[in-house]
Chain A
Amino acid sequence: MKEKLESIRAAALAALDGAQSENAVEELRVRYLGRKGELTAVLRGMRDVSPEERPAMGALVNRIKEEVEAAIGETLANARAAERSQRVASERIDVTIPGRRPLLGRSHPLTQVTAELVDAFVGLGFSLAEGPEIEDDYHNFEALNFPPDHPARDMQDTLFVEGERVMRTHTSPVQIRVMESQQPPLRAIAVGATYRHDSDATHSPMFHQIEGFMVDRGITFAHLKGVLTHAVRAVFGERSAVRLRPSFFPFTEPSAELDIGCFGCGGSGGACRICKGTGWIEVLGSGMIDPNVFRAVGYDPEEYSGFAFGIGIERIAMLKYEIDDIRRFFANDLRFLSQF
């Protein structure tokens, strides 16, 4: 019996040595270790072995069985590894095939610039407010200190709507609406579409503004300079040169236009196309809120002061991306939109 076991062992190990595939190994397992396998048959024959020999024989059978099982396991692992490497060697795909995906849609450049400006002011503690585009004369003009038949209204050529309404010519009526419904201290911005009766390469009948204001006790022109300088640098870069110069808006006094040093020529002017040689680019209008505006909303101008500012978003986007014609924003050409 012992010899038989040894010969089965030798045969099994030899057969395993030559086994190449997983299937071949599996067949050998069945042949030696299966229910009707050769080793199993020997094991069954144990009952014919004398009780004295049984422990030693049992140990031998188990050892051989374990040895064969281990050899099977090893051969199987080798066979599987060989098969995997064979599979890997035969598998090849074209990795340069483009990915299958939706093309990335883009938000409109005006939306991008708006979000940048809005986020800069929200970071400074300003909250966004909204108001209607179809406005009444009171909120769009009168409460903002534009008397009827005043030439200041020429600055804002108006689109009139039936029912004595206008398309808002600026976002400033939102200032009035916020102040009518809330008490200082206030820090608010408004953003949206505005309309003027004007159409050429630099004027669109519809355009967008962002407007902001701050009202509290003791707000000064120095604060206006501080906050706007800070905000403008957040958008145009920390190193931007900034200057304010006197201007006129009916709803602010003193009024100021804010210029930044031209990023086209670095402020040197010359034949620069962007700043037309002045070295400066106008980016926003601003000023201390006129006492008449405070009176219109029922604030005491001796108690409260504040400043307001307005920025033309198309203008900023045109400067930032060097866009030549304002009408490009509204043609929605995919070749244009995909660039932003």
Chain B
Amino acid sequence: MKLPLRWLNEFVRTDLDTAELCHRLTMAGLEVDAVEERGAGLNGVVVGKVTATRAHPDADRLTVCEVDAGEGTPATVVCGAANVRAGIRVAFARDGAVLPDDRRIGRAEVRGVESAGMLCSEAELGIAEQSDGIMVLPGRTPLGADVAELLGLRDTIIEVSITPNRGDCLSILGLAREVALVTGGRLREPKVRLKESGGACGDAVSIRIEDERCRRYAARIVRGVKIGPSPLWLRLRLQAAGMRSVNNVVDVTNFVMLERGQPLHAFDLAKLARPEVVVRAAAKTKAIQTLDGVVRALDPDDLLITTGDEPIAIAGVMGGADSEVSAETVDLLLESAWFAPATVRRTARRLDLHSEAAYRFERSIDIGGVASALDRAAAMIAELAGGSVAPGMVDVYPGEREADPIELRPSRATELLGCSVSGAQARKVMKALGARVDKGAGGALSVTVPTYRTDLEREIDLIEELARVIGYDEIPTELPSRPLMAGSLPERIRMERSIRQSLQAAGMSEAVGLAFASPDTNRILPGVNVAGRAVRLLNPITQEEPELRRSILSTLLAMWRHNRNQGATAIAGYSVGKAYWHEGVAGEGWRLGGVLAGEMPSIGLGARRAPELGDLKGILETLFEQRRVLADVAWRPGTEWKSLHPGKSATIELGGAVLGVIGALHPDAEVELDVDGAHWLFEIDLDRLAAHSTPAVRFHGLPRYPAVQRDLAVVVASEFESDQISRFVREWNRDLVEEVELFDEYVGSPIAPGKKSLAYSIAYRAADRTLTDEEVNGLQEHLVLALEKHFDVEHRQ
């Protein structure tokens, strides 16, 4: 809400400087967003009189003027406006003048004639958006006077941010009440003087409210108006408050809305089909053409203003085109009403019609101010557009009654605020807010709030007002004295923290991505343990991404593409976040994803190389070992993802259930996803990992007898999975085989083509004795035989 100080000063005078006023408003909950010194840049424009004109010798449309600015010697000025003529008084920008758009005016030669400045239009002075010709000032305007000062073009405009509960502050009067409250100033409400004549309003029009969502509807008739432009002062007021001038009648309705917060509407009385106004639900009325020319489809629930069967306005939102005030309008019906905030909001949102009026109705207007705003507007129209106000108004206010008083216990305020609030203090604050205070039961106050404070309904609302007016700074700052409570983090968060450390130590940086995804991305990256289909957003941010991601890898692929496009050669990233699915109902779960692409994220001689599956798998194995679950993890060749390379991917299982996937993209998916080059990625289900219980740590005695190490090399087909032998050997003799580790894989001469050599290191250890060489040699021989029996392997000596 824009608060021009010139306007504010009509309601309350304050000596405070602007900074202090802003501070006090902010500390009273009316946060000042900005302060604009309007017209501050406008300088050196004075009142001048055109004493003589002659045609420019070299240009048809230019006039050479002699301008007297009260200094004796007239200045010669070249002017291009058609309306310039001798005798008029004008706004003369002299040599050195500065216009509001920072344009500096100097002497200039215009087609061979020297011009000592410029005659200004309203647009050039920043008063109007566009002008035909220069501004003509009234005949007796003193020559040489500063135009900005004379017209009041300099003003300080405070932009106040109004919270949704303070609809009463969406007016100059409302803000003036708050200024009076925070400065101790006295509020002066303008008196309305109304002259009435002609046939009574009540004889000319009848009003019926058929829907309780309209609690008050008042109307007046003004006859014989002449539609025309508004006077400069009115246009300046609207402009300062951020509204545009339309014509004198519309401008008055907007002026009164800005002044008092009551939206008004003017109908062309002649265009109403019948002399009656009915407020009702749209029901079977299907459409209305609003005054912006658009035909709007109506909902049966929309609240309408109608005459006969014709809708003439959508209540509180916008008037109809058929009854609009036009240049030919003579008689007016002025509406001032109260409509239920929720209904106005619903309709305005559905039609995407967010007018200043709807904005105020949504935040609830002062039902007690409906009639006085109507009087104010009628009087102003009669004054500015001619015409006469018909005697009386029709004011239908079916449920009129005083608001229920609210009980305010100073003791409760003391309890909640933590500072002592006395009855006298509470009474004083409530009175300053314009409330009536009576004695209530048991030391409580019975508070009847003014009708404009629609936000004050409960005791807690009044306690907030007490705190606000007393000042938050006056309330002490205390720590609660309570028994100690230990703060704690859930296991999932602690797990996440250790995972981050482990991945970062491996060179991976964390990415955080938006949760939105395209249907294509969700098809290509189906997710891990993600059921059903993707979750759809009803109002997505972009049409390209109308779904929630099923896989956290969408974030990492985006990271990959972005950094590659920025020239990065090594991309190592991980991300922790949610995946979402829809299976009857929307679901979500925590996932961890990672990518290694291009080069290893490492430095040093020889460190620059393409990543291998083992690099990423090793990172995950470390992570699993940290969680003490590595022994329960299995890596099964292949996945259900069509987008992963079938020969270069694996399903990760934990305790027999799917935990995740690891691998390289299928070359087709690389094309679809716009990525390529050496890369590996993984995604795992963090919820499943967190849920997998690990045995409590217990100390086992250290081995008492030494282990014996033996190597074993076998030649197998090149597609043979090396892990089969490791698992076989472990199971083959659980008592004596302590560890099996693949330490070499070799392809090439002398190994036959299509074959590879695998070398394992096996540690034998007995719990109760030192194994002898003979014993171990015997074990190795048996093992070779067992391997040859179970697998197509050839022992390599």
Q: Chain A: residues with CB nearer than 8 A to chain B?
A: 97-108, 110-111, 115, 118, 121-130, 132-134, 147-152, 154-155, 159-163, 165, 167, 185, 187, 193, 195, 197, 199, 204-206, 214, 216, 218-223, 225-227, 229-230, 243-248, 253-257, 288, 290-291, 305, 329-335, 337-338
Contact = CB atoms under 8 A, between A and B. Distances in A.
A205 B516 contact: yes
Contacts of A230: 479
Given A127-B487, A187-B487, A332-B555, A214 B602 contact: no
B558 A332 contact: yes
Contacts of B516: 205-206
A98 B513 CA distance: 33
B586 A102 contact: no
Contact of B484 (A98, A125, A133, A160): A125
Contacts of B562: 331-333
B478 A290 contact: no
Nearest to A102: B507
Given A150-B164, A331-B562, 7 more contacts: A134-B548, A162-B536, A163-B586, A222-B476, A243-B472, A243-B473, A332-B559
A332 B574 CA distance: 11
Contact of A130 (B485, B488, B490, B570): B490
Contacts of B512: 108, 110-111, 329-330, 332
What 8 A-B pairs are tightest by C-beta distance, nearest first?
A100-B604, A222-B418, A220-B418, A246-B29, A102-B507, A248-B163, A122-B487, A149-B342
Contacts of B500: 107, 111
11 contacts: A103-B507, A105-B574, A125-B485, A128-B488, A134-B535, A147-B342, A159-B537, A187-B487, A225-B475, A291-B458, A334-B563
Interface stretch (B72-80, B192-200, B459-467): B459-467
B504 A107 contact: yes
Nearest to A111: B510
B341 interface: yes
A246 B468 contact: yes
Interface stretch (B225-233, B371-379, B577-585, B721-729): B577-585
Nearest to B500: A107
A151 B493 contact: no
B27 interface: yes
- Chain B interface size, as a band, is 35 or more
Nearest to B167: A151
Nearest to B33: A276
A199 to B, nearest CB: 6
Given A205-B516, A246-B29, A105 B510 contact: yes
A103 B342 contact: no
A288 B461 CA distance: 12
B445 interface: no
A151 B363 contact: yes
B417 A245 contact: no
A149 B346 contact: yes
A162 B478 contact: no
A133 B514 CA distance: 13
A180 B566 CA distance: 49
A108 B484 contact: no
Nearest to B576: A111
B603 A98 contact: yes
A230 B480 CA distance: 12
B525 to A, nearest CB: 17
Given A130-B490, A230-B479, A221 B342 contact: no
B487 A123 contact: yes
Given A151-B341, A152-B165, A221-B416, A334 B480 contact: no
Given A107-B510, A111-B500, A290-B460, A214 B603 contact: no
B508 interface: yes
A220 B513 contact: no
B511 to A, nearest CB: 4
B503 A247 contact: no
B571 interface: yes
A120 B419 CA distance: 27
B509 A160 contact: no
B108 interface: no
Contacts of B587: 134
A105, A123, A290, most chain B CB atoms within 10 A = A105
A102, A152, A161, A248, most chain B CB atoms within 10 A = A102
A126 B493 CA distance: 14
Contact of A154 (B164, B515, B602, B605): B164
A127 B475 CA distance: 27
Nearest to A147: B342
B795 interface: no
Given A161-B535, A246-B472, A103 B603 contact: yes
B538 interface: yes
B31 interface: yes
A133 B602 contact: no
Contact of A162 (B486, B559, B582): B582
A330 B512 CA distance: 6
Contacts of A130: 490, 492
A225 B164 contact: no
Contact of B476 (A98, A225, A247): A225
Contacts of A206: 514-516
Contacts of B570: 103
Contacts of A205: 514, 516, 541
Contacts of B695: none
A131 to B, nearest CB: 11
Nearest to B359: A151
A334 B514 contact: no
A292 B582 CA distance: 33
B529 to A, nearest CB: 17
A121 B575 CA distance: 25
A242 B572 CA distance: 41
A105 B572 contact: yes
Nearest to B412: A302
Interface string B448-461: 00000000001011
A118 B506 CA distance: 25
A152 B164 contact: yes
Interface string B339-350: 001110110000
A132 B548 CA distance: 14
A241 to B, nearest CB: 12
A127, A225, A332, most chain B CB atoms within 10 A = A332
A185 B485 contact: yes
A305 B493 CA distance: 29
A315 to B, nearest CB: 15
A148, A155, A253, most chain B CB atoms within 10 A = A253
B568 interface: yes
Contacts of A110: 512
B480, B508, B600, most chain A CB atoms within 10 A = B480
Given A101-B602, A227-B480, A244 B472 contact: yes
Contacts of A329: 512
B294 interface: no
Nearest to A191: B493
Contact of A248 (B166, B341, B485): B166
A59 to B, nearest CB: 46
A126 B482 CA distance: 13
Nearest to B165: A248
A89 B508 CA distance: 42
A133, A151, A195, A230, most chain B CB atoms within 10 A = A151
Contact of B566 (A129, A151, A335): A335
Interface string B68-112: 000000000000000000000000000000000000000000000
A255 B416 CA distance: 13
B131 interface: no
Contact of A97 (B362, B460, B605): B605
B538 A160 contact: yes
A190 B341 CA distance: 33
Contacts of B482: 185, 216
Contacts of A331: 562
A104 B601 CA distance: 8
B607 interface: yes
